[in-house]
Amino acid sequence: MIVRDMLPAEAAEVGELRVAAYRAEDLLSVHPPYAEVLRRLGADGKGEILVAAPGDGPGAAAALLGTVMIEPWTPNSEVALGTHEVEVRALAVSPAARGRGVARALMAEVEERAAARGAGRVVLSTQPAMAAAQRLYASRGFTRLPDRDWSPIPGFTLLAYGKDL
């Protein structure tokens, strides 16, 4: 497995991978229109989309294993509070690739790239139902930032996490 920048021709596959991953965990039932956000996220060029691919050997043309987006702070950021922070968006692993270290590899690359760009902290938000993701974040040194929890829709709160680099 390699983690690399998404190729432009992979944009549609990345969008569908995100939707499939969220659907597999029943994470879209709270707000089904979010599927379209997942499909389009990063298309505006404001974020850096990474993918986990099978590698360069046999089967390299196989489907992507996972994806994540790194988004620098903007005044419209959901969790990041300033230019010293970058936000992680739409971490998703193909249901067929779960349990193979894909999310861990993607997050390691996010942290490495953020640090190389001078970010002091990586932040993200997650649904309360994303228990596996929360275990991953904790194992990588992320801590809860309850003062940054937020509600994208009434009655539904996203949990914020951060890690100092």
Question: For residue 13, which amino acid is it?
Answer: E
What are the residues whose beta carbons fall under 8 Å from the beta carbon of 84, sequence distance 6 or more? 73, 119, 120, 121
pLDDT in tens, 77-108: 999 999 999 999 999 999 999 999 999 999 99
Domain boundaries, the chain: 2-164
Cα–Cα separations (whole angstroms), residue 4 to 14, 31, 45, 148: 13, 30, 16, 30
The pair of structure tokens assigned to 102 is 């894909």
Give residue 58's pLDDT: 54
Contact 95, 24 (CB under 8 A): yes
pLDDT in tens, 2-58: 999 999 999 999 999 999 999 999 999 988 999 999 999 998 888 999 999 997 655
Query: 2-164 belongs to which homologous superfamily?
Result: Gcn5-related N-acetyltransferase (GNAT) (3.40.630.30)
What are the residues whose beta carbons fall under 8 Å from the beta carbon of 54, sequence distance 6 or more? 1, 60, 62, 65
Among the ranges given (55-59, 63-67, 103-107, 142-146), the one the predictor scored with the smallest mean pLDDT: 55-59
Can you tell me which residue has the tokens 């969008």? 15
